Amino acid sequence: MRPTPVKPGRPESLRSMNDQSALTLLLARGALTRLQLSEATGLSGPTVSSVIARLTAAGLVSQAGATSGSRGPNAVLYHARVERFCGVAVHIRGSRLFACFVEPGVSQHRVIEVRRAERKSSAVEDLSEAIDAACSGADRDRSAIRAVCVGLPGAVSPISDTLSFIGSLPGWPRRHVRARLEERLGIDVLIGNDANFAATAEARVGGDDFALAWLGEGLGVANVTAGQVSPGAGGGAGEIGYLPISAIGASLDPKAGDLQGLAGAGAVTRLVRAWRPSVRSYGSALVALRADERRPMMLADLAPRVAEALSPVIAVIDPGEVVLSGPTGAAGGEELAGLVQDRMRQTTRWRTPIVATAVPDHPILRGATLTLIDHLTELMLGQVTAGWSPPVHN
């Protein structure tokens, strides 16, 4: 039997791979010399020189000084030019927007909070205000913005571009949402589910096979396999808050009609108020869950509810572990995770490890930032491809 001949790589494909490898390194490590790029990529010196030439011609790389303090002539340093490929990551949470300016290869800028005008706002106004606030906070010009990435408590179908599983979000269209926003804003618009973005952030910290349970105003689950989030065909995977409760759930809270009513923000607030009558809001309930002297009793009451919400998830997905995230999960921390795991082992056959989130602060914004950086990097590489043309042979 003849072996299948191996087709050589197309020159343009190899060039693209080399360009991507070099640009990714410059974004990740900062300024590098040609020799450092050659050693890191395994490419030959002449090939690295060609890569630098293409990236420089595309306006994506420029000289950044020279090395010093070593024998021999100083070597030229090159760095990625990202000033024309920036974006803004946004997290919508009720009446508040959290935004930060994003530059590939640059440490995250500070988070800016913007209040939404509930009755008068529109999707375009919301994002415009967030973009302006993020640019102002980073002392950057809005003309540098190429894309915005939005995390919200809902799902956008990648097929129909329809916004679903969404609560009160005044002024936001439900159909053709991305297309309409891109037309009005004049930039790329990425929209994703909050739990999925939180899982993206969690996966970058560590873990290839887990389910992230988002415990907040709403309940959601993101399934991560081989380091990749699985949003489902219509983008609505993991919306467990809408599931009806079981008989066990009804015994824990007869008034809860679904898992949201059992372990969502309202349920958490009522549970904490039973121990601390002065609590009147979800925000104050979270403060009590973190630091109140009666925290152990509060968490002991909360753990069976969370375990009940996780039971169908573990039964269907069978993840390597479950990460408790979201405002409630972060407030409960390792103590809540341990109590939930004990409850699961006492009342079910599942022995899945339950752990606390490793990204307690702004996980949705962090996941949106990571997603946006990948998108902006692709735009930069696309510029190299668009600017290259094959040589003409006479």
**Structural domain spans, the chain:** 12-81, 86-198+363-381, 207-356
CA 154 to chain CA centroid, nearest Å: 14
251 three-state secondary structure? helix
**Token digits for 202?**
């969690």
Count of beta carbons in the 10 Å neighbourhood of residue 248 = 14
- Give every residue of the chain whose pLDDT is below 70, as ranges: 1-11, 68-73, 117-120, 167, 385-394
**Which pLDDT value is given to residue 392?**
39
User: pTM of whole model > 0.85?
Assistant: yes
C-alpha 341/C-alpha 329 separation (Å) is 13
Beta bridge pairs of residue 101? 88
Number of H helices, E strands in the chain: 13, 14
Fold of 207-356: Nucleotidyltransferase; domain 5 (3.30.420)
CB-based contacts of 149: which residues, under 8 Å, 6+ apart?
Answer: 87, 88, 89, 90, 102, 190, 191, 192, 368, 369, 371, 372, 375
**Token digits for 311?**
């039971």
Q: Under CATH, which number does the domain 86-198+363-381 receive?
A: 3.30.420.40
Q: Which helix (H) or strand (E) holds 213?
A: strand 209-215
C-alpha 184/C-alpha 291 separation (Å) is 45
* Closest to 195 (Cα-Cα) out of 1, 356, 363: 363
| Measured distance between the N- and C-terminal CA atoms of the chain, rounded to whole angstroms | 43
Check if 86-198+363-381 and 207-356 are the same fold.
yes
What is the torsional sign of CA 364, 206, 360, 317? positive
Q: Out of 3.40.50.620, 2.30.30.90, 3.40.50.720, 1.10.10.10, which CATH number does the structure's domain 12-81 have? A: 1.10.10.10
**Which pLDDT value is given to residue 387?**
53
**Token digits for 132?**
């302006």
**Which pLDDT value is given to residue 8?**
44
**Which pLDDT value is given to residue 120?**
66
**Which pLDDT value is given to residue 97?**
93
Q: What are phi and psi of 198, to 5 degrees?
A: -60, -40
Beta bridge pairs of residue 220? 214
Q: 7-39 as b/e, with b when 16 or more CB fall inside 10 Å? A: eeeeeeeebbebbbbbbbbbbeeebbbbebbbe
Structure confidence by residue, pLDDT tens digits, 137-163: 999 999 999 999 999 888 788 788 888
Can you give the three-state secondary structure of 2-70, one letter per residue? Answer: CCCCCCCCCHHHHHHHHHHHHHHHHHHHCCECHHHHHHHHCCCHHHHHHHHHHHHHCCCEEEEEECCCC
Q: What are phi and psi of 360, to 5 degrees?
A: -75, -25
